[in-house]
Amino acid sequence: MTEAVMARALFGITLGYHITYATLGVGIPFLIFLAEVMTWRTKDESYRVFARRLTRVAILLVGVGIVTGTTVAVMLSVLWPKFMEVVGQIINLPFELEVFAFIIESLFLAIYVYGGDRLKPRARIVSSFFVTLGAGLSALLVTDVNAFMNTPTGMTWVHGTVENPNPWLAMLNPSMPYELGHVLASAYMAVAFVFAAAAAKGLLRRNLTSAERTYHRKNLTLTMAVGGVTAVLTAFVGDASGKMMATYQPEKLAAAEGLFHTTTFAPLVIGGIVEPAKQMIIGGIPIPGMLSWLATTQLSGKVLGLDAFPSWTWPALAPVHLMFDTMVGIGTFAIGLAFVYFVLRWRKHAWLFARWFLWVIYAMGFLGMLAIEDGWVFAEEARQPWIIYNLMTVDQAVTTTPGIGWMFGGFMALFTVLLIATVVTLRTYFRNHPLDGELTPSPKVTRPAKGGVAL
Amino acid sequence: MGAAFLWVLVFVYSILGAIDFGSSFWRWVFHLRGNWNAESVAATYVSPTWELINAFLVVIPVALVGLFPAAAYAFGTVLALPATLLLILLALRGAYLQFGYASARFRKHMVYVTGITGLLLPGVFIALLPLTQGGFVTRVGNSYAFAAGAFFSSIPVYLFMAFGITLALYLSALFLARYAQQASAWSAYHRFRRGALWMGPISLALGAVALRVPTPGGLAIVASGLHSLWFVLFLAVSLVCFALGYLGLAMQKRGTPVTKGRALWQLGFGIAQIVLSQFAYAVGHVPWLLYPYLTFANSASNHVMFVSTLLVLIIGLAILTPALLWFRSLFIVDAEYVATHAQEGRNGH
């Protein structure tokens, strides 16, 4: 393995790990906020219990997310120093603003957690809203740097140096609205399905009390509604993002769809193995004209193929196409599942309570997170060999320091420890605080936690 | 201006960080000794603050990248290994704080992990100072190489580390003494006072030695600083502050209550001393960011980015400072909160 490959592997795994925590850290506050709103509107205490239990998860995951986020922040400079030198000259503002978004998030989280039941319902709604806002903004701002890497603007690039920089214009690059919208909507979607899965798992347990059953039912409906709506939003923004790519990053679109030749009436091929040697997709289901329609809103629209670009700038085609289709496939399945759930609920159909249906919802929880990871890997893989599209390659940006192998080993050990400890902590916590005890209120549980749950 | 701003960030973090890390170390020590009183005072302080202090830490590399990208490049290349060490310690510390609060099962692990990392981290952080003073980094063509072997076997580096660790313990003991005073926890107060009495002179002596022994081929801070009136002035006033604060600490009867004002000025002199000696150090260090390659001037970003970064960070901090102060009034200086939570900790064990 070359140093560059090792550095990519290390950074990729670190980001992949951080993305799990970050996505949950963005989505859970939103669900807490919704649960608080529902408590206020319905005066139903069971939503309050849901909010309280979510808060425990949020505190832990946000905390570990800070740790992994700090790691990513420092590792960027350490592994990709040349890249960060360019970032410092043109696209550092989002990173700076992100710090403040994060401070807002942790301040209001502290207020929400420490205030606990002493806060009035409206104060709880307001503080959880600001936690959601801070978390969302920090995700958006960091993603904005990634958007810049896809479609760099706001400067002239003269022999590897930045000239005439306009940092604000760089922030408002063409990918920005689509990529940010897609990231936020998909995070809400994935997290909603994670907690739908948790509710489904709860309903799958034997010997439930009727209070527990109602609690899980209500949560399942709430999270399925959030998941369904955001899944549709994700798809819409994703589609708009495809059109943006057709204009600004046609090479990425061509790679995602395995389109070798520039053509009108371009087909959309679902699945299949892309064979760069034969310049075709083997297997896969073609839908004639569909790609043209998606990219240009016209069946006869012209879509640029990979032949418009030198082959050394092509990413690894076979995995990129499959990752793209996996992401779209899971998203489509999520929309279908939410739709079926609400139709069943409306018709009061027996399937709604069938164990197999609950198992499908349970599986969707994992699929949603898989789609997030998969989507990010796709976004990065499909831009290869560039780190900043058309300006700087990954090999140019990587550090010259030897010994990445040692770092790799150290961080893998660290992440393993953190992952195991996170799971064990959550399990012990919920084993020691069974739902049954919280649903039947006693004066003791109204305190947030003994000695302060702490940040 | 940019350099001054960066220094301010480093100042603030060094003080907040020293208090934060030192406190978890004291907590660990008193946990081992079974002194629940002092432990719970330290624990009450540590809990609600670490995330915000960590946010401050993130501002520093972010500001460095925006203001001095060439330096960010150099440090990024050079620091690969030290930063790994630092990150792993920080990550363990942060994560175990979470685990410990979320589940009782991890509470003991948390006290150990945060205590040990709290002891080591100030040492690792301060090791960056001798690194910037030069002698361990060479420029090869367009890139930089770090002589890790020479660095980790250099005596001045270890002197700096010992200095950083004892300084953090001194400062945090002063801080916790005042914290205990607010909760009227007198036995804890005197524990921390005695801790500060021990650590103060030790760290002062180590600091003096660390700065006198120059790194090979590096910047001689004291020798060049003595030519500057400012350096001498800052150093002299700093020593006076130390002497005043220390006398105040020493002249107390064990076990007796002290007034709020007294606990406050003891801490105030301690902080003033450190800030002033940092000023002196800065005077000796300027204009070098990384001796002998990078100065503040030759690594600065383009004008537009430089100004935007400064504006964004200064405006952002200006807006959020009131919020932070409010937070502080809620959790740190609210005597009632301190008293009830320290009490709860006591009963809990």
Q: What is the mean pLDDT of residues A251-279?
A: 83
Q: A281 phi and psi, to 5 degrees?
A: -105, 125
- Residues B190 and B265: their CA atoms lie apart, in Å, by 16
B4-to-A88, B123, B235 alpha-carbon distances in Å: 18, 24, 19
pLDDT class of B344 with cuts at 50, 70, 90 = very low
The predicted pLDDT at position A278 comes to 80
Domain range for B238: 2-344
- CB proximity list for A132: less than 8 A, separation 6 or greater: A29, A30, A32, A33
The predicted pLDDT at position B330 comes to 63
What amino acid is encoded at B306 in this protein?
F
Q: Given CB atoms, is A103 within the 8 Å cutoff of chain B? A: yes
Given a cut of 90, is residue A30 above it in pLDDT?
yes
Measure CB to CB from residue B61 to each of A77, A82, A424 and give the nearest one: A77
- Residues B193 and B337: their CA atoms lie apart, in Å, by 22
Going by C-alpha positions, the residue among B44, B15, B33, B17 that lies closest to residue B185 is B44
Centre a 10 Å sphere on the Cβ of residue A19 and count the other Cβ atoms it contains.
22
Q: Given CB atoms, is A418 within the 8 Å cutoff of chain B? A: yes
Measure CB to CB from residue B52 to each of A81, A106, A400 and give the nearest one: A106
In angstroms, the separation between the Cα of residue B123 and the nearest Cα of chain A is 18
Measure CB to CB from residue A107 to each of B66, B95, B327 and give the nearest one: B327
Measure CB to CB from residue A77 to each of B65, B330, B331 and give the nearest one: B65
pLDDT tens digit sequence for A175-211: 888 889 999 999 999 999 999 999 998 888 888 888 8
- Residues A38 and A227: their CA atoms lie apart, in Å, by 16
Q: B138 phi and psi, to 5 degrees?
A: -125, 145
In angstroms, the separation between the Cα of residue B66 and the nearest Cα of chain A is 4
pLDDT class of A451 with cuts at 50, 70, 90 = very low
Exposed e or buried b for every residue in A26-44, given b needs 16+ CB within 10 A? bbbbbbbbbbbbbbbeeee
Looking at chain B from residue 65 to 94, which residues have their Cβ under 8 Å from any Cβ of chain A?
Answer: 65-70, 72-81, 83-84, 86-88, 90-92, 94
- CB-based burial label for A283 (10 Å; 0-12, 13-18, 19+): exposed
Which of A18, A84, A422, A453 is the best substitution to test chain B (most B C-beta atoms within 10 A)?
A84
Q: What is residue A427's three-state secondary structure?
A: helix
Angle, alpha carbons A370-A371-A373 (nearest 5°): 65
- Residues A391 and A85: their CA atoms lie apart, in Å, by 14
Half-sphere exposure of residue B100: CA atoms within 13 angstroms, side-chain side? 22
Q: What is residue B320's three-state secondary structure?
A: helix
Cα dihedral B241, B245, B247, B250, rounded to 10, equals -150
- Residues A103 and B57: their CA atoms lie apart, in Å, by 12
CB contact under 8 A, A84 and B65: yes
The predicted pLDDT at position B345 comes to 42
Task: Kindly report the pTM of this predicted structure.
Answer: 0.81
CB A362 within 8 A of CB A1: no
User: How does the average pLDDT of chain B come out, rounded?
Assistant: 78
Q: B135 phi and psi, to 5 degrees?
A: 105, -20
Which tokens hold the place of A317? 């085609």
Higher local confidence (pLDDT), B322 or A233 = A233
Q: What is the mean pLDDT of residues A303-307?
A: 83
The predicted pLDDT at position A31 comes to 93
pLDDT class of A444 with cuts at 50, 70, 90 = very low
Long-range contacts of A350-355 (CB under 8 A, 24+ apart): A355/A204
CB A267 within 8 A of CB A289: yes
pLDDT class of B124 with cuts at 50, 70, 90 = confident
Q: Given CB atoms, is B216 within the 8 Å cutoff of chain A? A: no
Query: Contacts of residue B319 in chain A, CB cutoff 8 Å?
Result: 100
CB contact under 8 A, A67 and B88: no
Query: Contacts of residue B106 in chain A, CB cutoff 8 Å?
Result: 421, 425
- Residues A289 and A295: their CA atoms lie apart, in Å, by 10
Q: Would you give the DSSP letter of residue A444?
A: G
The predicted pLDDT at position A360 comes to 92
Going by C-alpha positions, the residue among B191, B100, B114, B93 that lies closest to residue A451 is B100
User: DSSP letters of B212-229?
Assistant: HSPPTTS--HHHHHTT-H
Q: What is residue A393's three-state secondary structure?
A: strand
| Domains contained in chain B, number | 1
Going by C-alpha positions, the residue among A185, A194, A187, A184 that lies closest to residue A54 is A194
The predicted pLDDT at position A450 comes to 36
Across the A/B interface, how many CB contacts are shorter than 8 Å? 230
pLDDT tens digit sequence for A145-158: 898 988 888 888 88
pLDDT tens digit sequence for B257-309: 777 777 788 888 888 888 888 888 887 777 777 777 777 777 777 777 888 88
- Residues A85 and B71: their CA atoms lie apart, in Å, by 8
Q: What is residue B196's three-state secondary structure?
A: helix
B161-to-B15, B52, B121, B166 alpha-carbon distances in Å: 16, 25, 9, 9
CB B195 within 8 A of CB B38: no
User: DSSP letters of B159-187?
Assistant: HHHHHHHHHHHHHHHHHHHHHHHHTT-HH
The predicted pLDDT at position B225 comes to 72
User: How does the average pLDDT of chain A come out, rounded?
Assistant: 84
Going by C-alpha positions, the residue among A333, A97, A46 that lies closest to residue A202 is A46
In a domain, residue B349? The reply is no
Cis-peptide into B48, omega within 30 deg:
no
Given a cut of 70, is residue A89 above it in pLDDT?
yes
- Residues A102 and B219: their CA atoms lie apart, in Å, by 38
Going by C-alpha positions, the residue among A326, A344, A327, A337 that lies closest to residue A359 is A337
- Residues B147 and B78: their CA atoms lie apart, in Å, by 9
Looking at chain B from residue 258 to 317, which residues have their Cβ under 8 Å from any Cβ of chain A?
Answer: 301-302, 304-305, 308-309, 312-313, 316
Measure CB to CB from residue A77 to each of B76, B304, B308 and give the nearest one: B76
Higher local confidence (pLDDT), A234 or A82 = A234
Closest chain B residue to A57, measured at CA: B102
Higher local confidence (pLDDT), A249 or A454 = A249
Higher local confidence (pLDDT), B223 or A16 = A16
Cis-peptide into B287, omega within 30 deg:
yes
User: Among the listed ranges A373-387, A441-455, B18-32, B82-96, which one has the minimum average pLDDT value?
Assistant: A441-455
- Residues A432 and A427: their CA atoms lie apart, in Å, by 9
Diameter of chain A by CA atoms?
71
pLDDT tens digit sequence for B196-253: 888 888 888 888 888 777 777 777 777 777 777 888 888 888 888 888 888 888 887 7
Given a cut of 70, is residue B131 above it in pLDDT?
yes
Q: Given CB atoms, is B340 within the 8 Å cutoff of chain A? A: no
- CB-based burial label for A46 (10 Å; 0-12, 13-18, 19+): buried
Given a cut of 60, is residue A441 above it in pLDDT?
no
Place of tokens 């005072």: B41
CB B25 within 8 A of CB A41: no
CB A200 within 8 A of CB A358: yes
CB contact under 8 A, B77 and A56: no
> From the CA atom positions of chain B, what is the Rg in Å?
21
The predicted pLDDT at position A215 comes to 87
Which tokens hold the place of A361? 């919802």
Which tokens hold the place of A390? 């058309």
- CB proximity list for B66: less than 8 A, separation 6 or greater: A88, A92, A93, A95, A96, B301, B305, B306, B308, B309, B313
Given a cut of 90, is residue A309 above it in pLDDT?
no
- CB-based burial label for A232 (10 Å; 0-12, 13-18, 19+): middle
Query: Contacts of residue B327 in chain A, CB cutoff 8 Å?
Result: 107, 110-111
> From the CA atom positions of chain A, what is the Rg in Å?
23
- Residues B208 and A141: their CA atoms lie apart, in Å, by 44
- CB proximity list for A125: less than 8 A, separation 6 or greater: A33, A36, A37, A40
Given a cut of 50, is residue A78 above it in pLDDT?
yes
- CB proximity list for B326: less than 8 A, separation 6 or greater: none
The predicted pLDDT at position A330 comes to 92
